Structure 1
Amino acid sequence: MPVLAQPQTIAIKPITVPTDGRDVELQVKVTAPVQGAGLPVIVFSHGNAWSMDGYEPLADRWAAAGFVVVQPTHLDSRRFGIGFDDPRFGTIWRVRIADLHGVLDHLGHVMEQAGLTARVDPSRVGLVGHSWGAQTVGALLGARVLDDAGDPGEDFSREDIKAGVLIAATGTGDSLTPFASEHLPFMRPDYRTMRTPALVIAGEKDRSTMSTRGPDWFLDAYHLSPAPKRLMAVPDGEHTLGGIAGEAVAETTDTDPARVTLVADAVSAYLFDALDVDTHAWSAFRVAAETERRASLRRKD
């Protein structure tokens, strides 16, 4: 069977986003299909220490599917060298949230700099994040951070965001390890107010060193938030779900290109549906994924 050519994509970087009170410029990378108009947008928040240059397997596949993907570099990126002992580290979680607000507030500027203004539908924007990025995205979907007394903090939600996807999202903070409690006290999300529709993706074998719980910790965002929510538990998936951050990166413990494709396509299908681009996309994806799962089991027998 001949291999079908993937649609061509382009990437433009760096694009500087106007900000106030940030130590370094907020820069983004934009990946888009070469052709098409009325394109929906994904704004993606990376995991700890990464940057706009990571997660290429996801960004490229989303762009090929018909999305414009915007990837900011947050202050925790390893290229800035801000460690736990840096006085700025304690507020990076807030800066991350401000980064996403800044990108959304200046999305027109970003699209203009990328030469995509006439090809984008600014009314169809979805947020996606992995790991720390998932908690960041969750804040814009309505989740809050609990303080030491268990009271919910500031509301960072946006009414203009129709849907989001949380990949390997932090669970509740009642089971943090002593290290996490000391250095990452903001890992105490309260999902009871996360009302924006979302897809939660979790690996069935994802075990965090930050929590005393097992893989079920990564299901909290689904079980504790108001409907409508959808859940995809990835069989045998660990924290990087086959290598979504990049090919052969050191932190991937469960290398599997097929798993990366599954995650990427789940996000595309869910957002096509949730953003009213194709309301049959999610149901079609589920049927195709189940068919492939059964075929894979037969191949193993």
Structure 2
Amino acid sequence: MYEATGLTGPAPTASVSVKPVVLPAPERGEDLHVRVSAPVTGTGLPVVVFAHGYGSNLDGYAPLVDHWAARGFVVVQATHLDSRRLGAAADPARKPHLWHYRVQDVKRILDDLAVLEAAVPGLAGRVDHGRIVAAGHSFGGQTAGILVGLRVADPVTGVARDLSDPRIMATVQLATAGRGGDELTPFALEAAPWLRDQDFSHITAPGLVVAGDKDELPLSTRGASWTTDPYTLARGGKSLLTVYGGQHSLGGIPGYDAAETTDEHPGRVALIQQVTLAYLRHVTGVDHTDWRTAQAVLAGDAHELGRLESK
């Protein structure tokens, strides 16, 4: 563990992952493949449903998934239709709906949580179905936001509907898109039309937003501050972890050897591991001590790796 963060947390225990658990989804065009990771001991385990970034898959984000699963959380990941493994994103008829398919994927996971639980040897009866957090990176962060009230105008119809799900109690959004409108670049309007009109004002669920202060995406003219919108434009009960020097991969959270990481930094990854875990334990009521410590250690601008603020 990278020690320079100044943060601590619970010791890891053994965990296990099972994949793929296949959920039939005929209307989707592809069955939903799911990975479930969980500690081998413990009861009343909270759940994190994690949505990957554009093009990734259920095997991504091991630095976060392994960390959370080894410390008391059941982590569920799906391969969404935009994954490079599937090629559905190249279908012009399906591309405008990719954002919506993702939300449907998570709702299918919630509907079939007992099926997923039973697929992992020894896990049945140890999961708390009443404590579920949605998390995601980049495109996946938007998916998590929609599940707690983010309104996205459908690129085809222009209609923004409430697709929130009351089973989601909170979110963790990492390097996630901000508001649309005239701040979007022509590239964004072409490549990600589901960003055209986003309304954060209906979100009331608690959430942690993680943003890198060097995350200069080609989607917005605003620069790195764009990814703080899920914090600044949503209502209260939110926290923001600003990662100093963090680009879109936030030091390397997509994988231990992810080629897309341009800002590889073990300290940034450790910071995000520890702060997100502390938040997950806090928001699900497991323990509040580590979250209070993180708030104290990362207050102001004194820490070399980042800053944590809340509203």
Q: How does 1:5-84 map to 2 (within 5 A)?
A: 6-84=12-90
Alignment TM-score, normalising by the size of structure 1: 0.91
Q: How does 1:111-130 map to 2 (within 5 A)?
A: 111-115=117-121, 116-130=123-137
Given the alignment, which residue of 184, 187, 206 partners 1:179? 187
Residues 27 and 73 of structure 1 are in contact (CA less than 8 Å); yes or no, is this contact kept in structure 2? yes
Alpha-carbon distance change, 178 to 295 in structure 1, aligned in 2, over 3 angstroms = closer
Q: CA deviation at 1:89?
A: 1.1
Q: In structure 1, what is the Cα distance between the partners aligned to 2:96 and 2:154?
A: 14
Partner of 2:27: helix, strand, or coil? Answer: coil
Q: Name the amino acid aligned to 2:270.
A: T
Residues 35 and 78 of structure 2 are in contact (CA less than 8 Å); yes or no, is this contact kept in structure 1? yes
Partner of 1:11: helix, strand, or coil? Answer: strand
**Percent identity between the two aligned chains:** 42
Q: CA deviation at 1:24?
A: 0.8
Partner of 2:58: helix, strand, or coil? Answer: coil
Given the alignment, which residue of 101, 104, 126 partners 1:98? 104
Alpha-carbon distance change, 14 to 84 in structure 1, aligned in 2, over 3 angstroms = closer
Residues 144 and 152 of structure 1 are in contact (CA less than 8 Å); yes or no, is this contact kept in structure 2? no
Q: In structure 2, what is the Cα distance between the partners aligned to 1:41 and 1:273?
A: 13
Q: How does 1:281-296 map to 2 (within 5 A)?
A: 281-288=290-297, 294=303
Partner of 1:43: helix, strand, or coil? Answer: strand
Indicate whether 1:257 and 2:266 are aligned: yes
Residues 125 and 162 of structure 1 are in contact (CA less than 8 Å); yes or no, is this contact kept in structure 2? yes
Alpha-carbon distance change, 242 to 210 in structure 1, aligned in 2, over 3 angstroms = same
Residues 146 and 189 of structure 1 are in contact (CA less than 8 Å); yes or no, is this contact kept in structure 2? yes
Residues 281 and 288 of structure 2 are in contact (CA less than 8 Å); yes or no, is this contact kept in structure 1? yes
Q: Name the amino acid aligned to 1:185.
A: P
Q: CA deviation at 1:139?
A: 0.3
Given the alignment, which residue of 132, 147, 152 partners 1:145? 152
Q: In structure 2, what is the Cα distance between the partners aligned to 1:140 and 1:227?
A: 17
Partner of 2:277: helix, strand, or coil? Answer: helix
Q: CA deviation at 1:295?
A: 7.7
Give a deviation string over 1:166-225, Cα, whole Å, max 9, x none.
111111112111121123211132101111111111001111111111111001111111
Gaps (5+ residues) in structure 1?
A: none
Q: In structure 1, what is the Cα distance between the partners aligned to 2:50 and 2:177?
A: 16
Q: How does 1:125-274 map to 2 (within 5 A)?
A: 125-146=132-153, 153-174=160-181, 175-187=183-195, 188-274=197-283
Q: In structure 2, what is the Cα distance between the partners aligned to 1:114 and 1:107?
A: 11
Q: Is the helix fraction higher in 1 or 2?
A: 1
Partner of 2:70: helix, strand, or coil? Answer: helix
Q: In structure 2, what is the Cα distance between the partners aligned to 1:22 and 1:294?
A: 46
Residues 89 and 98 of structure 2 are in contact (CA less than 8 Å); yes or no, is this contact kept in structure 1? no
Q: CA deviation at 1:250?
A: 1.6
Q: Name the amino acid aligned to 2:117.
A: M
Partner of 2:147: helix, strand, or coil? Answer: helix
Alignment TM-score, normalising by the size of structure 2: 0.88
Number of equivalences: 295
Residues 45 and 127 of structure 2 are in contact (CA less than 8 Å); yes or no, is this contact kept in structure 1? yes
Partner of 2:262: helix, strand, or coil? Answer: coil
CA RMSD of aligned residues (A): 2.5
Alpha-carbon distance change, 65 to 253 in structure 1, aligned in 2, over 3 angstroms = same
Q: CA deviation at 1:85?
A: 5.1
